[in-house]
Structure 1
């Protein structure tokens, strides 16, 4: 999607009746009654954006209006092949939502399809279901018991590093009572999904105060010059047999994006589903360590492999190409290896909080690969290629 088309999408989002966001297993947006906001003390009334973010996060001057029939750009529409294939991450469209005209309802479906598929979710937007590759609520429920006991998360400044389309940024609204929320992700498609949803919100919605920085982890580099750069990622991918996917390369910052962080350090950082996409996990963790306040906490969640009782030491799979059908997987560690990564990166009070099977958490209706397709039905715990099947591991560590 080009910038001009994205501005058309934002202009359409602004034209809808202002919405509020209801956070839950399905994150819902719509012009609901004020009384249905989630029970939370987090009611930030205004943005915490810096001047450097204002141009991206605010509403543009001279906004581009949609052109063509029924408001669709270039006279196109949902049936003319401009979006993803039918069923690619989207559910069947219901009748027009109360308050929207049939034309608005149709154009909303067009933009949701055009911006998809959505990897994290699901969402409901003015009554229209938006399916997602992940049932992200499942991971949230695994992590929530630990988050709600941590004052750094509840009351401090929190960063979600590698936040995708912001699903967990919205879920944080359920538990936070103070502090700010920032998401970072370099993938332009994820940023566009977040901004499209946020642009519909009433200015006094708590979710309108969330910042999203479209950049990689290098933006966290501290004043001492911890800037990390791995220019060999594309070259290595080409020679490993894996297709290079810039949206899976979380060290990448989009060209031309020179952003300053709204604030420099954090009380808590969530880094979920990121570290195994990194060619240098320790460099990532050292950068995170430098971005935490003294005593700050990291919640690290990763794809991993189970511990081998017969070999109680750090282990990690280094895939030759795809792993469990997914590309961009550079290493799949066990919990002991993650502990060693964290220790070598300067963290203390390192804990393994939870491990779980996630094979039921992926949605095959999005057209993206799901773990169950690659499991060996005759050999539990293994993939069809003979490698151990992955689990999820949640760690906690402090600076």
Structure 2
């Protein structure tokens, strides 16, 4: 399920391989053994057609894998069923042998906010925290980093990555079914860390930023995308119980407050490259999620507020540099 041995050849990541492999292999043994969801998702992988796509394209908004002509009718039916078993598809979109996987989020919109600011990634090591199905990792691969490591603890999304990787063969991309706190220290390993849609789920955002800083080389680039509170004050919203029906939302800072968090965590050259309100163009219910989405989380009488009465979701894209400590 993983090609961790490939990382052994990397002079920076290789020394951490034994500890990393022990943690990952333990998790995988659980998936194969007593985890009912894991066993069911393994069955979905087994039902994927054994076929090589005639062509692929990861350098476009809808990542394309092959064409419908690559599959026989029975293979198309098996593929459609297997992809359905891997729901919910939160990130995308993808065109997989002619099947349009219309994900809840149009992730190309967020990518377009970021892409022009990334600079060269040639030969660099990248960590994507909360990598989901790997959409951003596949988009990054076109920029030829030497290694991309994603961590994704939620099994549906991890198995979506495994399914896509059957057909998108990038030897430098790895996805590990781990939480950030399960990672080894990996001191000064990564030239770039992506942390998008994660920080507001963390009970202690400063501890998270400090851990990320420790994993980055001096001068490395942090890409941080998170919910923010509009306004110029140095403050953060802490929802009483739920925010947009989610009970795992903790701190939503203003950009000024977030800047202070980053400064105190060891970052400088902090710049906000985008602030955007989340709209139905970017996040909406589709046949590929079978659950509520943005419209259900907002006040029907005032779509700029959540159903709880808090300010509606606004997201900022922040770039920062890991300074020497």
Normalising by structure 1, report the TM-score. 0.66
Q: In structure 2, which of residues 305, 311, 314 is the aligned counterpart of residue 391 of structure 1? A: 314
Residues 343-377 of structure 1: per-residue CA shift (max 9 Å, x gap): 22121222222211122311222333333344446
Q: In structure 2, which of residues 38, 45, 48 is the aligned counterpart of residue 13 of structure 1? A: 48
- Helix, strand or coil for the counterpart of 1:146? coil
Partner of 2:126: 158
Partner of 1:298: 222
Pairing 1:357–2:320 present: no
C-alpha distance 314-154 of structure 1, shift in aligned 2 (>3 A) = farther
C-alpha distance 353-101 of structure 1, shift in aligned 2 (>3 A) = same
- Helix, strand or coil for the counterpart of 2:311? coil
Partner of 2:30: none
Residue pairs, 1:95-106, within 5 angstroms: 97-106=68-77
Pairing 1:199–2:184 present: no
Partner of 1:254: none
Give the Cα separation in 1 of the matches to 2:51 and 2:141.
Answer: 23
Give 1:143 shift.
1.1
Q: In structure 2, which of residues 73, 78, 81 is the aligned counterpart of residue 107 of structure 1? A: 78
Partner of 1:274: 198
Q: In structure 2, which of residues 240, 253, 274 is the aligned counterpart of residue 333 of structure 1? A: 253
Q: In structure 2, which of residues 120, 130, 136 is the aligned counterpart of residue 168 of structure 1? A: 136
Unaligned residue ranges in structure 2 (runs of 5+): 1-35
Partner of 1:141: 112
- Helix, strand or coil for the counterpart of 1:158? strand
Partner of 1:217: 180
- Identify the structure with the greater strand proportion: 2
Pairing 1:28–2:64 present: yes
- How much is the aligned-residue C-alpha RMSD, in angstroms? 2.3
Contact 2:191-2:221 at 8 Å conserved across structures: yes
Residues 280-335 of structure 1: per-residue CA shift (max 9 Å, x gap): 1111111100000111110100011211xxxx422211112221233421222111
Give the Cα separation in 2 of the matches to 1:194 and 1:19.
Answer: 20
Give 1:221 shift.
4.2
Pairing 1:123–2:94 present: yes
Higher gyration radius (CA):
1
Give the Cα separation in 2 of the matches to 1:101 and 1:379.
Answer: 49
Give the Cα separation in 1 of the matches to 2:156 and 2:301.
Answer: 38
Residue pairs, 1:183-262, within 5 angstroms: 183-201=150-168, 205=169, 207-222=170-185
Pairing 1:321–2:241 present: yes
Paired positions, count:
283
- Helix, strand or coil for the counterpart of 1:382? strand
Give the Cα separation in 2 of the matches to 1:107 and 1:177.
Answer: 33
C-alpha distance 194-223 of structure 1, shift in aligned 2 (>3 A) = closer
Give the Cα separation in 1 of the matches to 2:236 and 2:308.
Answer: 16
- Helix, strand or coil for the counterpart of 1:389? coil
- Helix, strand or coil for the counterpart of 1:364? coil
C-alpha distance 106-397 of structure 1, shift in aligned 2 (>3 A) = same
Give the Cα separation in 2 of the matches to 1:189 and 1:313.
Answer: 39
C-alpha distance 368-317 of structure 1, shift in aligned 2 (>3 A) = farther
Residue pairs, 1:44-123, within 5 angstroms: 97-123=68-94
Residues 226-275 of structure 1: per-residue CA shift (max 9 Å, x gap): xxxxxxxxxxxxxxxxxxxxxxxxxxxxxxxxxxxxxx711001100000
Contact 1:220-1:291 at 8 Å conserved across structures: no
C-alpha distance 291-111 of structure 1, shift in aligned 2 (>3 A) = same
Give the Cα separation in 2 of the matches to 1:223 and 1:143.
Answer: 26
Residues 123-181 of structure 1: per-residue CA shift (max 9 Å, x gap): 1111111121111111111111211xx23x3541111111111010111123x134221
Contact 2:45-2:82 at 8 Å conserved across structures: no
Unaligned residue ranges in structure 1 (runs of 5+): 33-96, 225-263
Normalising by structure 2, report the TM-score. 0.80
